[in-house]
Chain A
């Protein structure tokens, strides 16, 4: 095999083998990197979705609580104005007024219950107007109606509104009925009206308060996909963005793979070009001079001992070889002339 061919093979093998190994390993490495990235995105996205979802759910419930309190406060303002406008002085007049009774049956968006109550003593909280009607008038929610037995967590909310025999703003949750197949919490707020009315039966002045209670999830049904789990809607949206980010990362990796493949193709072309240039240089610098020297040696072998040995002026291995050949040629020449003289 000619030297030039061998050199080309060495260059091609030396260049293409690493490129081939790189091309073989790269898809695996990129795939692994991509999987790790997806794992990190999923982990991060999952954490963010859960934390933000929980946080958002907390804010939604706080917002719902504020809504219930605002309804109660607005009712208090409206009721005070109504009582003053109608000149109502006693709780009996209050209970028999159709406009005020209508107020007790009013509901807003969140299936609220609205009532008007009086504070008859320390923690003595009694209904005056309620959706249940006149049958609960002046009834104590515990002694008469036994509601604290049925709804134990109602006690701190109602007693807190009548502590010390005064009407005090107080809010809280209590369990009432079932929603989504499990006991449901209602949020209620009692707010002082700022008016005292005479109880004609006892001659006692009774501080008046009004309140509202609601299932907060009712407020969520039009602003989230799931009124039961409003935070989950936000989590799902975040997961959608996370998946979108994964698609984006996937596209970036695909682009990177395409670029690497293009670079590999360029590298192969460059190696082939270098191999071509090397072939030319080896032919010019090494092979052709060796062929010239071989031809000179062949002519000497045929008896042409006066032949000129080429490439003697070179300062490389070819030059050394040419000088050696020239020395041997001269020896042959001298020996030949000496023999002629004998």
Chain B
């Protein structure tokens, strides 16, 4: 499965609901990237994990994405 912004957003939305877009956009801002791809999605996930409130949910997303690769 190709990792894109939409794919990652959908996976996040499944775990954390409507706030997923807010967290994802904020993480991308902090990394200074404007799109998600195979090369940078892990960095985005690492940034998201820094928020303890959503860390366990991001872990679930990471496992699903890894298993789909």
Contacts and interface: CB of A to CB of B under 8 A. Distances in A.
Interface of A: 323, 326-335, 337-338, 341
B13 A327 contact: yes
Nearest to A335: B19
A331 B13 CA distance: 9
B53 A331 contact: no
Contacts of A334: 16, 19, 53-54
A337 B53 CA distance: 6
Contacts of B54: 334
Given A334-B53, A338-B51, 5 more contacts: A328-B17, A328-B18, A330-B15, A330-B17, A337-B53
Contacts of A335: 19
B41 interface: no
Q: Is the interface of A mostly helix, strand, loop or mixed?
A: helix
Contacts, number: 31
Contacts of B19: 331, 334-335
Given A334-B19, A335-B19, A327 B53 contact: no
Nearest to A323: B14
Interface in B1-19: 13-19
Nearest to B14: A327
A326 B17 CA distance: 8
A327 B10 CA distance: 12
A201 B51 CA distance: 164
A323 B17 CA distance: 9
Interface string B26-51: 00000000000000000000000001
Nearest to A331: B17
A328 B54 CA distance: 13
Contacts of A333: 53
A164 B54 CA distance: 142
Contacts of A323: 14
Nearest to A326: B17
Nearest to B57: A330
Contacts of A330: 15-17, 57
Contacts of A337: 53
A327 B13 CA distance: 7
Contacts of B13: 327
Contacts of B51: 338
B17 A338 contact: no
A338 B14 contact: no
B18 A338 contact: no
Contacts of B17: 326-332
A322 to B, nearest CB: 13
Nearest to B54: A334
A335 B17 CA distance: 11
A312 to B, nearest CB: 11
| 7 interchain residue pairs of minimum CB distance | A327-B17, A331-B17, A331-B19, A337-B53, A334-B53, A328-B17, A331-B18
